[in-house]
Amino acid sequence: MSKCEQCIIRKFSSLRALNKEELIKISGCKVSRVVKKGDILFEEGDHLKGVFCIREGACKLTKLSPNGKNHIVKFITKGDLLGQRSVISDESVNLSAVAVNDMEVCFIPREEIMTSFKGNPDFSVEVVRDICYDLKNSDDGAVNMAQKNVKQRLADSLLYLHDTFGEDVDGFIKVQLSREEIAGMVGTATESLIRMLSEFSKKGLIEVKGKRIKITSILKIQNVSDGIM
């Protein structure tokens, strides 16, 4: 089993603020686990006993809307921590986490996180910084949802996916989502989403091959997002 000290996640998440002793301690009690595509890490209402480190793969954070649709709030990818919010505030999670591809995750028990949080100010500042960043993004997202139309929101979602997952060798976004899932991100009906994807495709903004999507012109998509059409 590999040690936390050498793990890449440490470099990019709030864990970077931990000292050697803390890392060794965590290394000893963490549990590694493989999560298959479609598997559920946790569900709305669950009480988490620790945080997940994503070593490989990605998952979506979803929330069941009152209308019965599954809304994708965001994606958590390699190098991210998952579950910080509810572990530290000691509340049940308000979102479900489902793997969008095969994952490899480590589980760090709540006690370890809290001990470091209370004992290591550098760590607590980093954790809060992470959560504040999420809060800022969430507020921005809410404004976009409220003020933009579906076309603009689709543009936003495509840019977000591109940003989060990057491109493969052919320039396609490195994640495969169903049309229904994308509709769930954008907040629209699946049929409407499909139509809009074809429209974007016809206008040469994107190229679609099955589930794979390539952004042909970031600038043009950016313009759509900003309402310049």
User: Which chain residues interact with a second copy by CB under 8 A?
Assistant: 63, 65-67, 69, 71, 73, 85-86, 88-91, 94-95, 117-119, 121, 124-125, 127-129, 131-136, 138-148, 152-153, 186-187, 225-227
**Residue found by looking up tokens 């569900």 in the block:** 43
Under rule CB under 7 A, residue 66 binds DNA = no
CA 24, CA 22: separation in Å to the nearest integer? 5
Q: Over the range 150-188, which residues count as b (16 or more CB within 10 Å of their CB) and which as e?
A: bbbbbbbbbbbbbebbeeeeeebbbbebeeebbbbbbbb
Residue type, 61: L
Q: Which is nearer to DNA, 25 or 69 (CB)?
A: 69
| Span 117-156, contacts to DNA by CB under 7 A | 149-151
Helices 190-202 and 150-165 cross at an angle (nearest 10°) of 80
Helix or strand run (H / E) with residue 138:
helix 121-147
CA 46, CA 94: separation in Å to the nearest integer? 8
For residue 103, what are its two tokens?
């994952």
Under rule CB under 7 A, residue 179 binds DNA = yes
Q: What are residue 212's phi and psi, to 5 degrees?
A: -90, 135
Residue type, 103: M
* Piece in contact with DNA (CB under 7 A), picked from 7-15, 79-87, 156-164, 191-199: 191-199
**Number of residues counted as binding DNA (CB under 7 A):** 19
Q: How far is the CB of 223 from DNA (least distance, A)?
A: 14
Partner interacting with residue 208 (select from DNA, a second copy, none; CB below 5-8 Å by kind):
DNA
Q: Which is nearer to DNA, 140 or 191 (CB)?
A: 191
Q: How far is the CB of 127 from a second copy (least distance, A)?
A: 7
In this structure, are residues 151 and 157 in contact, taking their beta carbons and an 8 Å threshold? no
Q: Which is nearer to a second copy, 14 or 77 (CB)?
A: 14
Q: How far is the CB of 76 from a second copy (least distance, A)?
A: 13
Among 17, 23, 72, 197, binds DNA (CB under 7 A): 197
Under rule CB under 7 A, residue 195 binds DNA = yes
